[in-house]
Amino acid sequence: MRLPDSQLAVLEAASATDPTAVDRLADETDLDPAAVTRAAFDLRDEGLVTVDETTDTSAELTEEAHEYLDDGLPEVRLYKAAIEAGADDKPVSMGQLIGASGLGGPQVDIALSNFARKGYGSIDSGEVTADPDADPDSDPEASALETLAAGEPVDDTDLLDQLERRELVEQSERTVRKVTLTEKAVTALMEGIEAAETVDRLTPEMLTSGDWQDVEFAEYNVAADAPSVEGGRKHILRQTADRVKDVLVGMGFDEMEGPHADADFWINDCLFMPQDHPARTHWDRFALDVPPIQELPDQLVDRVESAHREGVGEDGEGYHSPWSRDFAEAVALRGHTTSLSMRYLSGFAGADIEPPQRYFSVEKVYRNDTLDPTHLLEFFQIEGWVMAEDLSVRDLMGTFEEFYNQFGITDIQFKPHYNPYTEPSFELFGTHPTTGELVEIGNSGMFRPEVLEPLGIECDVMAWGLALERLLMLMYGFEDIRDVHGTLCDLELLRETEVVY
């Protein structure tokens, strides 16, 4: 018979009559316990040993217990002080006893609660009475601590549990394996077993010398767990944004880019949002403490102001709201990335734009909201628009059906809606892929003439917006967006979330 070194060593160290613990075998063979265990199981599979497993409970004293070993249990100290002060005769004030016993800090509470529990006496309205018949010298908890300190076992499990509740001992369980030779092993040992040369690692030398041909490789427990490794990974919300961008680029959309802090002109006035609109008040808007923007395109500003005051076209009417250039020049964090669409459509972001065009962005917007599981002060908005001659509501619907279909959301419903900047407008509803509920998944519409005419656009533009976080939560089923996005994020959640592709 030929066996690997380690197995042979274990076999030789084990006995047929006396079950030997793995730890002892490890000492005797100079192997580490994991290697002995592995060898023992391999030998068992060959029918050469039996392996018996038992669970061993051990109790370790805590630091607090070691203190009590020196000083005595707090309740015992209290009792002794009470007897000394004559509390077995008549009640003595607690304050006096605590002073006399030298107890301090949390020990006072510990002493009082255990004093009563163990029947050393009673405490009533701050007066302590001691029971003269109590025998603290034979306190079972104290003697159990001493036994454990001497390295002897304590068999009373109730007592151990009580000490664990007092945080004086920590109990732990471990599996103890004992190995015994079988008759087959004894026979084989008598007949003689040859040691096969096994190697642990393949080395560069073995490869160059050719020695690898003469060795046997130690077998690993290939089913065992390996230490865990955390690789880097892209943030889950970025991954979702990437998917959205891939889909949109595939649908012919080009990406926009522009400032987060911008003039209210680009954020709101160009969008035909009246200056007294609730979304433009302090309550919703992040105004910034920086000087107003001086360089706005004057002619465009005039045309936008005229649209607000007079409307556009022969039958057009304006808003009956105040309008001032000062407000238009004020700088705020953008509440939507439609500010980028305005910069692009006006030609301010670069070249003049001729139809047909498709543009998008997946960028951050800011809302002065209260942080809660579904609302953040800043989130990603997916913004897209299509510019062409004679676009219809049906084109808008077809575009969005195609987009959402890419994310498994079908059966889009279009609820007629109102936005100051689009007409007709629709809220988009879709069926949640897992719960089957009808959920809002976006807002869309055709830009109004009051938006397009001042920008000099003579064809149609349809646009839509959607919070990326909303899509994320639909795709992953997260319940609290704060775990994912922002400094309150949970690294474990980010590390463990399944990759979606």
Partner 1 sequence: MPVVDVDPDELRELTAHDEKSDDELKDDLFNLGLEYEGETEEGMMQLEFAPDRLDRLSVEGVARSLRYQYGDDRGLYVPDTNDADWTFHVDESVPDERPYVTGAIVRDVNLSEDALDSLIQLQEKLHATMGRKRAKAAIGIHDLTMVKGQAYDADEGGPSITYRGVDPEGDSFVPLDADEEMTPAEVLDRHETGTTYADLLDGFDRYPAIYDQLGLFSFPPVINGRRTEVEAESRDLLIELTGTDQWTIDHICNVICYALSARGGTIEDVDIEYDDAKGADDEYGPNLVRPDFSVRTKHLSHDRIETVLGVDLDQHTVLDLFERSGLSASVDDSADADGTVYEVEIPPYRVDVLHPMDLIDDLGRAYGFNELEPRYPDVGTVGGRHERTRLEDAARASLVGLGFEDLLNFHIISGEANYDRLGIEPGTDVVGAGDPVEITGPYSEDYTQLRSWVLPSLLLVLENNTHRAYPQELAEIGLAAEVDESENTNVAEWRSIGAVIARHDATYEDAKARLAALCADFDATLETPATEHPSFINGRVADVVVDGDTVGVIGEIHPQVLVNHDLELPVAAFELRLDALQ
Min CB(497)–partner 1 separation in Å: 12
Report 440-499 residues binding partner 1 (CB under 8 A).
446, 448-450, 484-492, 494-495
Structure tokens at 169: 């001992």
Do 390 and 458 meet the contact criterion of CB atoms below 8 Å apart? no
Write the DSSP string, 430-442.
EE-TTT--EEEEE
Stretch that binds partner 1, among 2-10, 123-131, 168-176, 385-393 (CB under 8 A): 385-393
Residue type, 26: A
Please state the φ and ψ torsions of residue 410, each to the nearest 5 degrees. -115, -175
Tell me the HSE value of 227 on the side-chain side, using a 13 A CA sphere. 2
Report 62-81 residues binding partner 1 (CB under 8 A).
none
Binding residue for partner 1, selected from 59, 112, 256, 270, defined by CB under 8 A = 256
Stretch that binds partner 1, among 24-32, 209-217, 356-364, 470-478 (CB under 8 A): 356-364
CB closer to partner 1, 413 vs 435: 413
CB closer to partner 1, 194 vs 314: 314
Do 305 and 260 meet the contact criterion of CB atoms below 8 Å apart? no
Residue 381 labelled as part of a binding site: yes
Residue 447 pairs with which residues in a beta bridge? 422
Q: Assess 253 for contact with partner 1 (CB under 8 A).
A: yes
Min CB(232)–partner 1 separation in Å: 4
CB closer to partner 1, 5 vs 395: 395
CA gap 342, 455 in Å, rounded: 8
Residue 447 labelled as part of a binding site: yes
Q: Assess 375 for contact with partner 1 (CB under 8 A).
A: no
Binding residue for partner 1, selected from 378, 406, 431, 476, defined by CB under 8 A = 378
Residue with tokens 């107890």: 103
Please count the other Cβ atoms lying within 10 Å of the Cβ belonging to residue 157. Answer: 11
Q: Assess 255 for contact with partner 1 (CB under 8 A).
A: yes
Structure tokens at 166: 């007092």
CA gap 8, 40 in Å, rounded: 10
Residue 421 labelled as part of a binding site: yes
Q: What are the Cα distances from residue 366, in Å, to 334, 335, 407, 470?
A: 6, 5, 25, 15
Q: Assess 393 for contact with partner 1 (CB under 8 A).
A: yes
Min CB(328)–partner 1 separation in Å: 13
Binding residue for partner 1, selected from 66, 117, 238, 432, defined by CB under 8 A = 238
Do 481 and 373 meet the contact criterion of CB atoms below 8 Å apart? yes
Min CB(173)–partner 1 separation in Å: 24
Residue 501 labelled as part of a binding site: no
Site residue total, partner 1 (CB under 8 A): 103
Report 85-124 residues binding partner 1 (CB under 8 A).
none
Residue 382 labelled as part of a binding site: yes
Q: Is the dihedral of CA 427, 431, 432, 435 positive or negative?
A: positive
Q: List all residues 6 or more positions away from 358 whose beta carbon is below 8 Å from its beta carbon.
A: 251, 252, 253, 254, 384, 385, 386, 387
Residue with tokens 């692009």: 344
Quote the DSSP letter at residue 15.
Answer: B
Report 402-441 residues binding partner 1 (CB under 8 A).
402, 412-419, 423-427
Report 277-316 residues binding partner 1 (CB under 8 A).
278, 282, 286-293, 295, 311-316
Residue 267 labelled as part of a binding site: no
Binding residues for L-phenylalanine: 338, 381-383, 421, 447
